[in-house]
Amino acid sequence: MIIESGNSLLETRRRNGILIKNKIFRTEHAMRGEIAKELGLTLPTITNSINEMIKEGVVEPEPLPEECLSGGYGRKPQMVRFRREAGYSIGIELGAYHTRAVLVNLRGEVVEERTRRKAALQYGGMLVQVTDLIGELCGCVPSLQKEEGKLIGIGIGVPGFVDTEGGTIRQNFRVDWNGRPLGADLRERYPVPILIDNNTRFRAMGYEMQLRGTRPKMFAYLFISRGLACPIMYNDLVLSGAGAGAGELGQTILLYAGVNGEKRTVTADQIASESALFERCREEMEGGR
């Protein structure tokens, strides 16, 4: 027997609010009528939701830029945008060669950024470095020290495979990080939503979020560094799951014919990553070629 259940009014309003906020963020000139049309919601639903956001101080109305006006008389149309200072989030990438951290406002604009040497090989040392960076960035904005709720989230990107639901690092070239609950450890220090994911997946999501206007329905984000990665974005979401992994293209097993013609199984990382290419160049130079 199939049991069907609908959402309560509060849950429906919550879901609609998420969709509307997402549309406001991703649209350069977000107009109420266009939002209603694209989401398939009524204009009163959009207006009521946006009015609540205005009262909460999350979004604000702004006049449409002159270059976007089509002429005519009457009241100038208004768009809605997030208030820059309404909230901030922190993103940190623990890359293979260096650590990069940014503090962004609610419009996705970078307020502060830091670049540090690559993270420690030992998990405990890395955790200290991450918490120090978070504290340093929070100290750049006085309201983050005084007002609760201004810091709305933290995202940490690491190479390799990550259990995003639990925030646990599954497989990383820094062996001491493997199996560590980075998300849980950070939640003990910061009472905000914390997301741990593969760094290239975050890069793909960030690229898609910064697009304005027409965007592709699906695209692949190829990233070549110490290893190869190629996550796929589809309808604003990065494909995931136990089968898709983190888009770690470099872990693909290949049958490879070497310089002498012998065939062997290798990973894509072993023949096409930066590390592999540098090693091949070194061998060629030492051989006088």
Task: Determine the angle formed by the axes of helices 9-26 and 43-56, rounding to 10 degrees.
Answer: 80
The one-letter amino acid code at 229 reads A
Q: Which domains does the chain have, with CATH numbers?
A: 9-82 (1.10.10.10), 87-210 (3.30.420.40), 252-286 (no CATH)
Contacts for 61-68: CB closer than 8 Å, 24+ residues apart: 64/29, 64/31, 65/29, 68/29
Name which of 38, 44, 86, 81 is nearest 63 in CA terms.
Answer: 81
The tokens describing 76, both together, are: 């100038």
pLDDT tens-digit profile, the chain (289 residues): 444 555 678 888 889 999 999 889 888 788 999 999 989 999 999 999 999 999 999 999 988 877 666 655 556 678 899 999 999 999 999 998 999 999 999 999 999 999 999 999 999 999 999 999 999 999 999 888 777 779 999 999 998 889 988 999 998 889 999 999 999 999 999 999 999 999 988 998 888 888 776 677 888 888 888 888 888 888 777 776 544 455 677 778 887 777 677 788 888 888 888 888 888 888 888 888 7
